[in-house]
Amino acid sequence: MTILRHALIALAALFATAAPAQAADKLVLAFGDSLTAGYQLPPGQGFAPQLEAALRKSGVPARVHNAGVSGDTTAQGRARLGWVLNALKAKPDLAIVELGANDMLRGLPPAQARANLDAIMTEFKKRDIPVLIAGMRAAPNLGADYRRRFDSIFPDLSKKYGAPLYPFFLDGMIGNRGLHIGDNLHPNANGVAVIVKGILPQVRSALTK
C-alpha cells in the first residue's frame, strides 16, 4: 500500500507540472464617450461587453473595462483620465481611446481636440500603457477645412506615439439606419456588433504580440 501510495503521489505531481498554466485575463480599458459607454443599450449589448465576448470567443481571455461616459468631449476625457486609471486595480494591457465625436458635433476647434488627445496619449505613455486609437471623422456639413483639420488628428497622433490606429470607429455603420437606435446617431446592438467585428483584429493583435 505504501509503495502504491507513493506512486500515486508521484503520478499526481507529474500531471500537475505537465498541465498548461492558465493565462491570466488581459485587461482592456475602453476609454471613450457614449459610443463606448453603450448609450441606451441593455446590459451586455454595449461595446465593452460585446468586445469582451468576441475576444474570449477568439481565444483571447480578456476583461474589457467600460470607461465610457456619454457626452464626453476630449477635454472631459482628459480631465477624468487620471482618476479612472488610479481607480483600476490593475494596469491595463491595452487602452482603446475613442474620443472626439462630441467635439466635432459641437463644432469645437480641432486644435483643442488635438491638444486634449495629445495630453491623453502622453498620460498613457507615462504609465507605460499601450494604446489603440479609435479614429473619428468630421461630418461633411462642417466644411472641407474643418474636416481636414479634425480628421488628421488621429493619424498624426498615431504616428507621433507609435500607436496603432483603427481609422474610423463607426466604419460600416454610416448610412445604415438598421444599425442605429432611434436618434440615427448611436449604434444599436447590431451596430455595436459591426464595430466590434471591425476593430477586433487590431485589438487581438495588440494583446497577443
What is the per-residue pLDDT across 166-202, written as a single tens digit (0 to 9) for each?
Answer: 999 999 998 898 999 988 889 999 999 999 999 999 9
Q: Does 33 qualify as catalytic in the annotation? A: no
pLDDT tens-digit readout, 29-83? 999 999 999 999 999 999 999 999 999 999 999 999 999 999 999 999 999 999 9
Give the residue numbers spanning the domain of 142. 25-208
Q: Does 151 qualify as catalytic in the annotation? A: no
Q: What is the DSSP string of the chain?
A: -HHHHHHHHHHHHHHHHHSPPPPPPEEEEEEESHHHHTTTPPTT-SHHHHHHHHHHHTT--EEEEEEE-TT--HHHHHHHHHHHHHH-SS--SEEEEE--HHHHHTT--HHHHHHHHHHHHHHHHHTT--EEEE-----GGG-HHHHHHHHTHHHHHHHHHT--EES-TTTTTTT-GGGB-TTSSSB-HHHHHHHHHHHHHHHHHHHH-
Q: Does 34 qualify as catalytic in the annotation? A: yes
In a domain, 138, yes or no: yes
Number of domains in the chain: 1
In a domain, 12, yes or no: no
In a domain, 5, yes or no: no
User: For residue 175, what pLDDT is reported?
Assistant: 83
- Catalytic option among 33, 34, 103, 151: 34
- Catalytic option among 33, 65, 151, 186: 186
**Is 94 a residue whose pLDDT tops 50?**
yes
User: For residue 154, what pLDDT is reported?
Assistant: 99
CATH number at residue 199: 3.40.50.1110
| pTM for the model | 0.88
